[in-house]
């Protein structure tokens, strides 16, 4: 079907000129590399500036207020999931989405958002009573009112991802985050307290939604197809199942911690989670969304699928691990430096979450692999079992405190990683041993670089900023040198992905060649 007949044409990926004579694999690989580089640059800018913003807000917003927002924010994903029903994920990997399919997804999501959000809006008193957080009511009402703004961006964003327009998405995300951070700081300085965090979330949503509509150049028609909806829903309900289980797990954990330890403990956990999330995204979580598109395009070619997965997996492990190692090692220095001494209770929690993050790095990529292969049902079963065990572990150890909860996550992560290797090996036609070796090589680098960082932490006195910088340099340099020795291809990919000036990248390459020669 041609574009004139209602088919939505998918432009060439950014970076491939129209009419290029390149082989498809070369063009796809180059587009993927460009997309990953742009998203990584965005993550660095957004997360580092965001970290600075949180550092400012943490001195003006109390742990209890952070906990209130965490309680309210735990409810919003439930509305978004049921509104989207996995339709946007289907559109990203579908072979030929036409105009009728896109409009069907849009109108269903919008109506569902108003309906489900409206019901929850009316039930806010009941929700905050169950979570034992009565002060979260006004915050939750405002966040629920902003849900339709998120939903209407789903189809335009899916179209941009299909086109591999990651440069545009990166620029839009950076601009939205920058403006939202300014708004949050201004409101906090004016004494707005918890509303600074709320305004930050809403500003980000408003800017990204507007930018996605402008960039996609798409508008819905007044059409709705029951058959198209059925096709999307049969795929989407499995995706929603996975995400819904994660939301329910978050609800359960939030309720267990808030009721057992109070909203202040939830605030400490929130800071720890944000710091680890920043580390993951600085390291290379941009590889995952790009890889989903690439894996979907080569899913019918087993050899290329295995090669693409191995490269993306090694790069994800190699790029994210050193940043998480730094967070785990330097938490006693970084947290008081960034957030103040009042957040000291977040230190052991951050360490536990960082270690769990290293163990589960592969999950950033693997869930996308299963979606790209149309095996969302298998990932749903895996995610359900893992999340149920996580909640059970939280309930079992919460009486021992927040640190025990964080290290319980580590125990669950060990078992979940081994189970994930079994599932992935069957899907891509490899062995568990090969997947374990890929992780093991990076794990050795992490252990040695972490040990070097701990040595600096123990032996080097001085100002916090100096100690943090020395630990960071030690961990990164040790990790890169070891990575070049044991995984040279991954080292080259990670260095190419890093948002560094060409001159700096060249010096690092020369230094590593000399050091390992």
**For residue 19, is it within any domain?**
no
Q: Which of 219, 245, 261 is the last residue of a domain?
A: 261
Do residue 337 and residue 251 come from a single domain? Answer: no
d(CA 167, CA 382): 33
In 349-455, the DSSP E strands lie at none
Q: Which structural domain, as residue segments, surrounds residue 365?
A: 262-517
* Count of domains forming the chain: 2
**CA dihedral sign, ordered 367, 371, 375, 377:** positive
Do residue 164 and residue 181 come from a single domain? Answer: yes
Do residue 318 and residue 450 come from a single domain? Answer: yes
Model pTM score: 0.62
**For residue 40, is it within any domain?**
no
pLDDT at position 97 is 77
Q: Which of 232, 261, 290 is the last residue of a domain?
A: 261
Q: Tell me if residue 7 falls in helix, strand or coil.
A: strand
pLDDT at position 169 is 77
Provide the terminal-to-terminal Cα distance of the chain, rounded to the nearest Å. Answer: 57
CA 431, 432, 434, 435: dihedral to nearest 10 degrees?
130
Do residue 254 and residue 353 come from a single domain? Answer: no
pLDDT digits over 31-48, tens only? 555 555 555 555 666 666
**For residue 28, is it within any domain?**
no
**For residue 2, is it within any domain?**
no
**For residue 514, is it within any domain?**
yes
Q: What are the tokens at 28?
A: 């796809």
Low-confidence ranges of the chain (pLDDT < 70): 1-56, 78, 81-83, 85, 93, 131, 238, 282-294, 296, 487-517
**For residue 249, is it within any domain?**
yes
Do residue 257 and residue 294 come from a single domain? Answer: no
Q: Which of 229, 244, 261 is the last residue of a domain?
A: 261
**54 half-sphere exposure, CB direction, 13 A CA radius:** 27
Do residue 223 and residue 272 come from a single domain? Answer: no
Do residue 256 and residue 323 come from a single domain? Answer: no
| Cβ-contact 49, 178 below 8 angstroms | yes
d(CA 500, CA 483): 18
Do residue 214 and residue 268 come from a single domain? Answer: no
d(CA 182, CA 50): 10
Do residue 195 and residue 183 come from a single domain? Answer: yes
Q: What is the 3-state secondary structure (H, E, C) of 56-115?
A: HHCCCCCHHHHHHHHHHHCCHHHHHHHHHCCHHHHHHHCCCCEHHHHHHHHHHHHHHHHH
Q: Shortest CA distance to 319 belongs to which of 283, 361, 360? A: 283
pLDDT at position 449 is 93
Q: C-alpha angle 79/80/83, rounded to 5°?
A: 85
**For residue 24, is it within any domain?**
no
pLDDT digits over 202-232, tens only? 888 888 888 888 888 888 888 888 888 887 7
Do residue 290 and residue 433 come from a single domain? Answer: yes
**For residue 39, is it within any domain?**
no
Do residue 204 and residue 270 come from a single domain? Answer: no
d(CA 275, CA 272): 5
In order of 257, 334, 350, the CA distances from 406 in angstroms are 12, 18, 8
d(CA 321, CA 443): 8
Largest CA distance in the chain: 70
Do residue 126 and residue 181 come from a single domain? Answer: yes
pLDDT at position 247 is 75
């Amino acid at each position: 079907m041609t574009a004139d007949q209602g088919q939505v044409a998918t432009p060439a990926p950014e970076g491939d000129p129209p009419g290029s004579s390149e082989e498809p694999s070369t063009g796809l690989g180059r587009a993927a590399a460009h997309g990953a580089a742009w998203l990584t640059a965005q993550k660095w800018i957004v997360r580092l500036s965001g970290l600075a913003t949180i550092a400012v807000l943490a001195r003006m917003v109390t742990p209890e207020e952070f906990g209130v927002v965490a309680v309210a924010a735990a409810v919003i994903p439930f509305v978004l999931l049921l509104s989207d029903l996995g339709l946007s994920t289907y559109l990203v990997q579908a072979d030929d989405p036409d105009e009728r399919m896109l409009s069907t997804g849009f109108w269903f999501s919008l109506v569902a958002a108003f309906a489900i959000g409206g019901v929850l809006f009316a039930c806010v008193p009941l929700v905050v009573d169950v979570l034992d957080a009565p002060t979260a009511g006004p915050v939750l009402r405002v966040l629920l009112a902003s849900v339709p703004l998120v939903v209407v961006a789903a189809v335009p964003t899916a179209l941009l991802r299909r086109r591999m327009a990651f440069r545009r998405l990166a620029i839009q995300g950076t601009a939205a985050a920058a403006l939202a951070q300014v708004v949050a700081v201004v409101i906090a300085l004016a004494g707005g307290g918890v509303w600074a965090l709320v305004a930050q979330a809403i500003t980000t949503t408003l800017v990204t939604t507007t930018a996605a509509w402008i960039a996609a150049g798409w508008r819905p028609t007044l059409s709705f197809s029951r058959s198209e909806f059925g096709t999307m829903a049969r795929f989407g309900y499995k995706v929603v199942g996975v995400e819904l289980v994660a939301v329910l797990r978050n609800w359960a954990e939030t309720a267990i911690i808030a009721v057992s330890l109070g909203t202040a403990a939830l605030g400490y956990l929130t800071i720890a989670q944000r710091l680890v999330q920043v580390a993951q995204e600085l390291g290379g979580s941009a590889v995952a969304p790009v890889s989903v598109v690439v894996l979907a395009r080569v899913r019918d070619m087993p050899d290329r699928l295995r090669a693409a997965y191995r490269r993306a997996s090694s790069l994800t492990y190699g790029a994210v691990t050193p940043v998480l190692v730094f967070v785990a090692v330097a938490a006693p220095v970084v947290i008081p430096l960034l957030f103040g001494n009042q957040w000291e209770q977040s230190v052991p929690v951050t360490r536990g979450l960082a270690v769990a993050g290293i163990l589960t790095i592969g999950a950033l990529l693997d869930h996308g692999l299963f979606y790209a292969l149309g095996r969302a049902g298998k990932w749903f079963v895996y995610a359900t079992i893992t999340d149920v065990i996580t909640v059970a572990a939280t309930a079992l150890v919460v009486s021992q405190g927040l640190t025990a909860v964080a290290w319980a996550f580590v125990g669950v992560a060990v078992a979940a990683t081994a189970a994930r290797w079994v599932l992935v090996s069957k899907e891509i036609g490899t062995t568990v041993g090969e997947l374990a070796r890929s992780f093991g090589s990076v794990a050795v680098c992490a252990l040695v670089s972490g040990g070097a960082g701990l040595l600096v932490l123990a032996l080097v006195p001085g100002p916090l900023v100096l100690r943090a910088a020395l630990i960071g340099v030690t961990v990164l340099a040790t990790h890169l040198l070891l990575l070049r020795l044991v995984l040279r291809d991954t080292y080259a990919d990670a260095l190419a992905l890093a948002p560094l000036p060409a001159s700096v990248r060249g010096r690092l390459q020369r230094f590593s060649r000399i050091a390992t020669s």
